[in-house]
């Protein structure tokens, strides 16, 4: 993970400052506020700000003014009820703002979640750093034969070396050409005054998708959990999944009761169709149900059997 000197100084200043407030704070999250969590080779996730906690979810659900004489066990029961029955509005009362550094191709997949406020580093205004995501050897996999958007066997030996060489060479070459077209140094001064540089908004178009970008990403808890349910899933692409896993660890610090319910019901649980429930009932009644007379397609049947441990 690489931070610019300016970012490093900013983080030191932010973590050194202590603010007095009447709003709810979470000690476990305050410990890591502003601190970057490394992801991939040059990326990170860090919390810039947050609003609310587990008690805020309960308060919103009850539209009350404070905890009063309620017990935490009661709060836990209510949060689990809200999660179980998909009452999402109380979770929307909590928000978090992240600073994320990530490869452009991951950002383009991530941005499809249109439920957050995003402000990205502008390559029209600033010059991008010479930083590229190069996969670890264990992540260099062939195309899956059965899944059009998945990976198959890991490449090894000469095949892996060839791919890594191509990735490194292409990234280095295009960035060198990017610098040549810009014709300016980091301070914006022309390298060769005799030749005008290409506009930054045009020079960037030649860069590879594994170059790193950065953004601020603010989202409410309900939509964050939806994002995590999809992107922290084992079937998600590795490069976005590791970001989601880092954010899930942060969320556990922030709202531990809500995260426990989320992991029990959304990640560890499963939803059954009407047909799936009927098949389970028939099985519990002692009937030997087969796919042919189940009313389910073979794919639905296989997924149900895998879920029930009969795959």
The residues annotated as belonging to the active site are 231
**Neighbouring residues of 289: CB distance < 8 A, sequence distance ≥ 6:** 279, 282, 283
Q: What's the CA gap between 179 and 185, in Å, rounded?
A: 8
Q: What's the CA gap between 205 and 220, in Å, rounded?
A: 33
Q: Look-up: residue for tokens 């879920």?
A: 307
Vertex 166 angle, CA 164 and 168, to 5°: 70
- Per the DSSP assignment, residues forming a β-bridge with 99 are 46, 216
Q: Look up residue 147 and give its two tokens.
A: 């899944």
Q: Look up residue 274 and give its two tokens.
A: 């009407």
């Amino acid at each position: 993970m690489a931070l610019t000197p300016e970012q490093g100084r900013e983080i030191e200043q932010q973590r050194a400052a202590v603010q007095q407030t009447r709003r709810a704070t979470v000690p476990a999250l305050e410990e890591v506020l502003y601190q970057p969590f490394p992801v991939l080779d040059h990326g990170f996730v860090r919390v810039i700000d947050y609003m609310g906690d587990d008690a805020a979810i309960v308060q919103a659900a009850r539209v009350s003014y404070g905890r009063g004489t309620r017990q935490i066990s009661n709060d836990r029961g209510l949060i689990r009820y809200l999660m179980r029955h998909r009452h999402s509005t109380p979770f929307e009362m909590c928000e978090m703002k992240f600073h994320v550094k990530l490869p452009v191709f991951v950002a383009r997949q991530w941005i499809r979640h249109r439920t957050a406020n995003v402000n990205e580093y502008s390559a029209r205004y600033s010059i991008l750093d010479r930083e590229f995501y190069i996969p670890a050897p264990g992540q260099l996999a062939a195309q899956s034969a059965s899944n059009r958007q998945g990976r198959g066997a890991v490449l090894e030996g000469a095949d892996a070396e060839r791919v890594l060489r191509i990735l490194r060479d292409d990234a280095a070459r295009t960035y060198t050409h990017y610098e040549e077209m810009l014709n300016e140094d980091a301070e914006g001064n022309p390298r060769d005054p005799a030749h005008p540089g290409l506009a930054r908004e045009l020079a960037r178009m030649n860069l590879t998708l594994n170059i790193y970008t950065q953004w601020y990403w603010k989202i409410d808890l309900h939509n964050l959990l939806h994002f995590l349910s999809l992107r922290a899933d084992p079937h998600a692409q590795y490069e976005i999944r590791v970001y989601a896993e880092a954010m899930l660890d942060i969320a556990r610090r922030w709202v531990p009761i809500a995260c426990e319910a989320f992991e029990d019901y959304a990640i560890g649980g499963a939803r059954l169709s009407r047909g799936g429930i009927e098949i389970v009932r028939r099985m519990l009644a002692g009937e030997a149900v087969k796919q042919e007379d189940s009313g389910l397609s073979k794919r639905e049947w296989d997924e149900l059997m895998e879920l029930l441990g009969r795959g």
